[in-house]
Amino acid sequence: MIALAVRNYRDRQAWECALSDRLASFAPDLIALAGFMRVLGPLCVTRFAGRMVNIHPSLLPLYPGLHPHRQALRAGASVHGATVHLVTREVDGGPRLAQIRVPIRKGDDEPALIERTKRAEHRLYPEVLEWIAQGRLVLTPDAVFQNGVKLTEPILVETLS
């Protein structure tokens, strides 16, 4: 785990440079972002292209960015979920590795949907990370391959009821 407070740096670019250097000092094969509520700039994204994944609480490309649960409820969606994707310069726009669906139930409010989606995320992310560790999924800067075949759609993991 790395903890670098933005407030300790003269600006965001200095913080990102320090973060990038700190990450590089570990020579990571993979960086898995979780609960990281900052948009990374081009320095980190480019430096670690094809080696950084994130989990987002929606069925991307639906509801990127902030408050995806609220967006889904306001849209009247009947299903929600989570997506593991490759981090690229486009926020929540990189190639999607896998998704898990979560039903939206009658009477759901935002806290209920957040909690159900978190349970799904906690199931999905470790599974996808294991696939990467096993070589079943291979990441490149702009694509994901499953058993040598380029993914054009995310792998759908069983729906969480």
CB 52 within 8 A of CB 77: no
Is the preceding omega at residue 42 within 30 degrees of 0, hence cis? no
Helices assigned H by DSSP within 2-135: 12-24, 42-47, 68-75, 110-134
What gap in Å lies between CA 12 and CA 42, rounded to an integer?
Answer: 12
Q: Say if strands 79-86 and 52-56 run parallel, antiparallel, or are unpaired.
A: antiparallel
Buried b (16+ CB within 10 A) or exposed e, 35-65: eeeeebbeebbeebbbbbbbbbbbbbebbbe
Q: Which residue among 56, 69, 80, 85 is the active-site one?
A: 56
CB 49 within 8 A of CB 43: no
67 is catalytic: no
Which residues belong to the active site?
56
